[in-house]
């Protein structure tokens, strides 16, 4: 795999987002798509265990229908060997480390977005992800991988270029209600006003399957509605990563529920420990160990 170029790093640092074309092979696209469908089939069983046993840093599987389109799936990685292999054997961790100028990179969490209907309601509102993260830092990239082609009618992402440069967060509508704004948490309307400025530098990203966007976690973005009349779906895998300066610091605006609340090694104001979030790049040996690759494992039948 070719390394991220200096020009791509410069674009990421200037704009908060950069497109990496043909970042992942057709084989990875096909394997990840098949794994996604296998997990959905397993999740239909009411007795299927959504937890990720033995992997403390991974959240349990969750499916939300009708939110920002048709289907939001979170916590996929532990539920199929192809996803686990992708973390260790694909270029993902290296791409994130190089674009963020980080010596190390750890996987944090994932979300897959399937849009297979059309209409104005299946877009995603303007937001940024960092507002609700319990981690703080600048080396916290997002890798958004297109598993299908994404044209202008296929709900492409839009980004407000340069909006990652602000030092504060916004009081997100996804955060608990009843909290006030502050010097650190600005009103959400302020975010929306930035997007509404005439001539705001908004870019829509059309992509081919296997292309990815590397995005700063502070970048303001949305997705357009899916309006195509073609059959099929728009499928994308979004993964979030932790670089060298990642600090665990949840507060009243960013609660994590039971997911990591019992992890005594997660210390407020400190870097996440390798036992909970193993280093994915570069491969570490003998300790801390990365998540084991299972690229050659035979997937269970759906």
Name residue, tokens 């932790």.
242
Element (H, E) at 71: strand 71-74
Asked whether residue 54 carries a pLDDT value surpassing 60, the answer given is: yes
- Residue 299 has a pLDDT of 41
Interacting residues of 63 by C-beta distance below 8 A, sequence separation 6+: 40, 43, 71, 72, 73
- Contact present, 60 and 51 (Cβ < 8 Å): yes
Total number of residues shown for the chain: 302
Asked whether residue 144 carries a pLDDT value surpassing 90, the answer given is: yes
- Residue 285 has a pLDDT of 54
Name residue, tokens 């996987």.
107
Question: In 3-state terms, what secondary structure has residue 236?
Answer: strand
Strands 105-115 and 234-242: antiparallel
Asked whether residue 296 carries a pLDDT value surpassing 90, the answer given is: no
- Residue 149 has a pLDDT of 98
Question: In 3-state terms, what secondary structure has residue 36?
Answer: helix
- Residue 260 has a pLDDT of 87
Share of the chain above pLDDT 70, in %: 92
Please report the domains of the chain, with CATH numbers, ordered by start residue: 6-281 (2.60.120.620)
Q: Record the pTM.
A: 0.92
Asked whether residue 51 carries a pLDDT value surpassing 90, the answer given is: yes
- Residue 2 has a pLDDT of 54
- Residue 78 has a pLDDT of 96
How is the chain split among helix, strand and coil, in percent rounded to 5? 20, 25, 55
- Residue 258 has a pLDDT of 73
pLDDT tens digits, 216-252:
999 999 999 999 999 999 999 999 999 999 999 999 9
Q: How far is CA 201 from CA 69, 97, 161, 207, in A?
A: 25, 26, 6, 19
Least confident segment among 19-23, 62-66, 152-156: 62-66
- Residue 286 has a pLDDT of 47
Mean pLDDT of 127-152: 97
How many other CB atoms are found less than 10 A from the CB of residue 149?
A: 14
pLDDT tens digits, 248-284:
999 999 987 777 888 899 999 999 999 999 999 997 6
Q: Which two tokens stand for residue 119?
A: 């209409």
Asked whether residue 290 carries a pLDDT value surpassing 60, the answer given is: no
Interacting residues of 128 by C-beta distance below 8 A, sequence separation 6+: 163, 164, 170, 191, 217, 218, 219, 220, 221
Asked whether residue 287 carries a pLDDT value surpassing 50, the answer given is: no
Asked whether residue 288 carries a pLDDT value surpassing 90, the answer given is: no
- Residue 98 has a pLDDT of 98
pLDDT tens digits, 155-209:
999 999 999 999 999 999 999 999 999 999 999 999 999 999 999 999 999 999 9
């Amino acid at each position: 795999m070719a390394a991220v170029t200096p020009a791509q790093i410069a674009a990421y640092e200037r704009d908060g987002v950069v497109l990496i074309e043909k970042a992942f092979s057709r084989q990875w696209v096909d394997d990840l798509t098949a794994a996604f469908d296998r997990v959905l089939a397993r999740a239909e069983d009411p007795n299927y265990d959504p937890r990720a046993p033995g992997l403390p840093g991974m959240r349990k599987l969750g499916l939300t229908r009708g939110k920002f389109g048709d289907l939001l799936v979170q916590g996929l990685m532990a539920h199929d060997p192809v996803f686990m292999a992708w973390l260790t054997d694909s270029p993902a961790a290296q791409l994130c480390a190089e674009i963020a100028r980080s010596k190390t990179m750890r996987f944090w969490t994932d979300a897959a977005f399937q849009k297979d209907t059309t209409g104005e309601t299946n877009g995603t509102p303007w937001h940024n992800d960092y507002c609700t993260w319990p981690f703080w830092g600048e080396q916290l990239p997002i890798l958004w991988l297109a598993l299908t082609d994404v044209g202008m009618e296929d709900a492409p992402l839009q980004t407000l270029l340069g909006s990652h440069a602000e030092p504060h967060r916004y009081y997100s509508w996804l955060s608990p209600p009843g909290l006030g704004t502050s010097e650190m948490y600005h009103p959400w309307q302020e975010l929306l006003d930035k997007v509404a400025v005439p001539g705001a530098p908004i870019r829509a990203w059309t992509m081919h399957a296997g292309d990815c966007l590397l995005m700063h976690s502070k970048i303001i973005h949305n997705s357009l509605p899916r309006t195509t009349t073609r059959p099929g779906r728009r499928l994308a895998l979004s993964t979030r990563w932790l670089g060298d300066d990642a600090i665990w610091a949840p507060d009243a605006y960013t609660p994590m529920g039971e997911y990591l609340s019992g992890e005594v090694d997660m210390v407020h104001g400190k870097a996440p420990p390798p036992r909970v979030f193993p280093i994915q790049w570069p491969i570490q040996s003998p300790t801390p160990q990365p998540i084991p690759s299972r690229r050659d494992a035979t997937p269970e039948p759906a």
